[in-house]
Structure 1
Amino acid sequence: ASSGQACLHCQPCAIVSGWGGAGAFSDGKLTLTTDFGGWLGDYIGEAKLRELIDYIDQIYLQFGAPVHVHGSDKERIREIQRQAAAAELQLIPAVVRRLGTDRAYKILAGMRHALADRGVEVRTLTPVKSLLVEDNEIQGVELANGEKLYARYVIAAPGREGSEWFAKEAQRLGLPARTNPVDIGVRVEVPAAVLSHLTDIVYESKLIYYSPTFDDQVRTFCMNPYGQVVVENNAGLLTVNGHSYAHKKTDNTNFALLVSKSFTEPFREPISYGKYIASLANMLGGTVLVQRLGDLLDGRRSTPERIARGLVRPTLPEATPGDLSLVLPYRFLQSLLEMLAAFDKIAPGVYSRHTLLYGVEVKFYSSRVELSNQLETAITGLFAGGDGAGVTRGLAQASAAGVHMARSILERTKN
């Protein structure tokens, strides 16, 4: 990803799987707030979540995270909130500690080495086939190669890449669960100057909007000032994401624009639905698609020539110019366009005809299994946490969930 070369189609994808949850690379942002980033607070309470976020923040600092944080200028943030409200947008402020994709890699590597020094065995490229349960108590796991590992306690934290596996295992084991929403949208790329008056202050502009036509929630996510658009390979399904590097900057800023959609009975397959939408883009372009906003509004596909004439130079040159209206359902597309028009009121240039839209970006979350305040399932000794278990959706809360589960198990081993 850092070299800017095309997707290598490695299996499993080094961006979405592997050590650290986000693989070898993540966008490297710690959002130090309880207001968003998952639902961990629903289980453990806001005060406990606040304590855990502060705790994991100190751990990242010990392993090399920068001391500087973004989003501490409350007066300027209030002014941005006022402007956003006038445009029917809600800005949720947060203090952000930006690691950067390159620094995040080094920090995660340092954590792994520290664990190895303490005698912790880490097995990668070791898929788990199933959870072993007997008399409603966890016994261990069975690996894809048939090997069985036995343990008194098991933590299921498979990451977004493993969210579908966990949902199927939960269903097989009869664990009560409710379906999480699926987030489907695009990755937006604009000149960095268009958003610098926001990103210089808050870095991560977390904006929420409700579309007038369908009243669907649309939100910004994973904003990367001076960043780079990248491809993710989800078991052969190519989707889009964004990174930013601490020591390597581009002239553009990118961010995800996602429509959150919850489904009602009898539909229970939001992950399959999201994968189907993404597969349409792959079918049309062989990889992810890119389209100028002006071409989309004019009802025509983008071509290499039209992209080349645009004012925004794509940071993902391997994306195929195409037509996102052939991929995204009308409801999603309309909500995204309405959000972009509203965003333009506080950041003129976002709704420019030269703005690039990459698709599809999809965020997969597993069904939310019923958990205790220790994040234990109805099966004794089986804990579940992180994005892949539908509990969190971000680095800070996922880290906090891991610490919370570890403390819960440690307390039991003392008794």
Structure 2
Amino acid sequence: MYDVTIIGAGVAGIFLAHELMAQGQTVLLIDAGKPLEQRTTQEAYLGFGGLGKSEGKYNYSAGFGGELAEKLGPEKMLQLMQQVDALLCRYGADEVDTYSTSNPELATRARAAGLETIETTVRHLGTGLSERILRRLEAVLQKQITFRFETFVETIEKQHNGFLLTTKHETFSSQRVVFATGRSGTEWMQAQLQTLGLTQNKTRLDLGIRIEMEETAFRTLLQDTFETKLAYASAAGTAVTYCMNPKGRIIRKHQEGLVMPDGQNFREQESGTTNLNFTLFLPRYFATLAEANHYAASVIGRINQGTDRIVVQRLGDLRSARMTSSADLAENKIRPTLEATAGHLMEEVPETDITVLLEFLDRLEHLLETPLSPDTLLYGMDGKFYAPVLSTSPVFETDLPGLYAIGDCSGVTHSLSQAAASGLYLGQHLTQKTAVLRE
């Protein structure tokens, strides 16, 4: 019998496994994907490392990235994030420096413009370094814990002394079971929870327009930092900038059967660009995962038209309520870094998102103290997906004793740093390292 079985080898599961391994626990780690060296670009979410294999952007902040601060308290959460960063550095993350988005002068200017800055300390590893760190972690873990890759857990049964897990070819006994399947394992997790008599709650979905502008427009804001995060409290909810890439490109991302515009850091390219891009996300909440997925498909799927279609429009044309043509794009001063279909966002994006976008850009111009170029490009439509919230205790235990849920599959964390921190925290609890547990 294993002490702990972890289902999911993303960052939450990895950090939990590392903590348990260090304390001599017997651990089984199961993942539906492949070992790191066998993962392909199409397997963006499954396999060792999960989404941590991508940009490797760890934001150490209580201001965004999930509700871990509400669950554990901001002081404990920040302490855990320091431990996450220390562990990453042990495996080579200190090859790149952290940077801070803190700028008191900018914060004051932003408030005067009707915006708020969100402060964070960032260690942005990039894809290459992320993979090297994960490879070192995988090698260490394989020496002391048991892995099962390309394995689906078919059933989980509660027994008097733990759990019995069944896969296609094997059965395992474990005192405790931890779900760490991320957003990609949502449907599997829902089915297992239903069998175990547990239910999930509301689901969040973020939709947004990715904006591509001249990199020089932001230089006054980015003199002392790589990026900034801005929030706009609109009548429809608080919209937040996400994944800002100075000198970066826009690429296609494939998720949930949809195709969306995504940002790529200039470090991942042979050469940088003269553009800057980011997404302005607006959150929505739905009673069920099915409702959230249906809404995303109705918006983004309609834009895709069964292909990889993404629509792009010039800001000047949007403000004039006119369609952007291919000829307009060909003559546009700001060269698009993504091949997209010229069109009219008002015909393809919900009106609420257009309204919030234009209100935000008005305030951004106030902050920048200069008008945005009418050649600024707007791509529709980006999406950020979340797992439904699952009720868990302060130590991530579900209503079924011995069954836990950490990382993004819990609905509590929405980022690499918070997912990793949740894994560390549970590992410390399960090995009795946590000095004080919140009642």
Q: Please say whether Structure 1 and Structure 2 have the same fold, judged by a TM-score greater than 0.5.
A: yes
CA contact under 8 A between 2:182 and 2:407: conserved in structure 1? yes
Equivalent position of 1:381 in the other structure: 402
Deviations 1:93-113 (A, max 9, x none): 112222223322322233222
SS at structure 2 position matched to 1:121:
strand
Equivalent position of 1:333 in the other structure: 354
1:359 partner letter: G
Q: Indicate the RMSD between aligned Cα atoms, in angstroms.
A: 2.9
Equivalent position of 1:368 in the other structure: 389
- State yes or no: 1:197 paired with 2:220: yes
- State yes or no: 1:64 paired with 2:92: yes
Equivalent position of 2:106 in the other structure: 80
Q: Which moved more, 1:328-337 or 1:170-179?
A: 170-179
Larger radius of gyration: 2
CA contact under 8 A between 2:246 and 2:266: conserved in structure 1? no
- Structure-2 change in CA distance of 1:323 and 1:137 (3 Å): farther
Q: State the alpha-carbon separation in 2 of the partners of residues 260 and 193 from structure 1.
A: 29
Q: Which moved more, 1:52-61 or 1:252-261?
A: 252-261
Aligned partner of 1:18 among 29, 41, 47: 47
Q: State the alpha-carbon separation in 1 of the partners of residues 59 and 382 from structure 2.
A: 21
Equivalent position of 1:46 in the other structure: 74
Q: State the alpha-carbon separation in 2 of the partners of residues 226 and 285 from structure 1.
A: 28
Deviation at 1:386, TM superposition (A): 1.4
2:365 partner letter: D
Aligned partner of 1:408 among 418, 429, 435: 429
Write the mapping of 1:158-169 to structure 2, written as runs, cut at 5 A: 158-167=181-190, 169=192
Deviations 1:285-344 (A, max 9, x none): 643222222232333333332222112222222x33333223321112211221122122
Aligned partner of 1:244 among 258, 265, 273: 265
CA contact under 8 A between 1:224 and 1:244: conserved in structure 2? yes
- Structure-2 change in CA distance of 1:113 and 1:326 (3 Å): farther
- Structure-2 change in CA distance of 1:172 and 1:64 (3 Å): same
Q: State the alpha-carbon separation in 2 of the partners of residues 285 and 237 from structure 1.
A: 9
SS at structure 2 position matched to 1:197:
coil
What TM-score does the superposition give when structure 2 sets the normalisation length? 0.80
Equivalent position of 2:35 in the other structure: none
Aligned partner of 2:282 among 252, 259, 269: 259
- Structure-2 change in CA distance of 1:115 and 1:225 (3 Å): farther
Deviation at 1:36, TM superposition (A): 2.0
Q: State the alpha-carbon separation in 1 of the partners of residues 191 and 365 from structure 2.
A: 41
**Please, which runs of 5 or more residues in structure 1 have no aligned partner?**
1-9
Q: State the alpha-carbon separation in 2 of the partners of residues 350 and 32 from structure 1.
A: 32
Deviation at 1:374, TM superposition (A): 1.1
Aligned partner of 2:364 among 329, 335, 343: 343
Q: State the alpha-carbon separation in 1 of the partners of residues 301 and 388 from structure 2.
A: 21
- Structure-2 change in CA distance of 1:197 and 1:181 (3 Å): same
Deviation at 1:371, TM superposition (A): 0.7
Q: Which moved more, 1:296-305 or 1:184-193?
A: 296-305
CA contact under 8 A between 1:184 and 1:363: conserved in structure 2? yes
Deviation at 1:208, TM superposition (A): 1.2
CA contact under 8 A between 1:15 and 1:23: conserved in structure 2? no
- State yes or no: 1:354 paired with 2:375: yes
Deviations 1:9-32 (A, max 9, x none): x99833344332216422x32212
Equivalent position of 1:6 in the other structure: none
- Structure-2 change in CA distance of 1:357 and 1:161 (3 Å): farther
Q: State the alpha-carbon separation in 2 of the partners of residues 302 and 339 from structure 1.
A: 21
Deviation at 1:170, TM superposition (A): 3.6
Q: State the alpha-carbon separation in 1 of the partners of residues 191 and 323 from structure 2.
A: 38
Deviation at 1:235, TM superposition (A): 4.4
- State yes or no: 1:390 paired with 2:411: yes
- Structure-2 change in CA distance of 1:79 and 1:276 (3 Å): same
Aligned partner of 1:279 among 285, 301, 314: 301
Deviation at 1:118, TM superposition (A): 3.7
Aligned partner of 1:303 among 303, 325, 342: 325
Count of aligned pairs between the two proteins: 392
Q: Which moved more, 1:251-260 or 1:224-233?
A: 224-233
Deviations 1:63-101 (A, max 9, x none): 2223522127x5xx1110011001110112112222223
Q: State the alpha-carbon separation in 2 of the partners of residues 266 and 161 from structure 1.
A: 16
Deviation at 1:184, TM superposition (A): 0.8
Q: State the alpha-carbon separation in 1 of the partners of residues 338 and 249 from structure 2.
A: 7
Deviations 1:137-159 (A, max 9, x none): 8625555x575554332221222
Deviation at 1:280, TM superposition (A): 1.2
Equivalent position of 2:137 in the other structure: 111
CA contact under 8 A between 2:289 and 2:388: conserved in structure 1? no
1:177 partner letter: Q
**Please, which runs of 5 or more residues in structure 2 have no aligned partner?**
1-38, 434-439
1:335 partner letter: V
1:115 partner letter: L
CA contact under 8 A between 2:116 and 2:232: conserved in structure 1? yes
Equivalent position of 1:3 in the other structure: none
Report sequence identity in percent.
31
Equivalent position of 2:203 in the other structure: 180
2:391 partner letter: E
Q: State the alpha-carbon separation in 2 of the partners of residues 149 and 164 from structure 1.
A: 22
Write the mapping of 1:303-322 to structure 2, written as runs, cut at 5 A: 303-317=325-339, 319-322=340-343
Equivalent position of 1:7 in the other structure: none
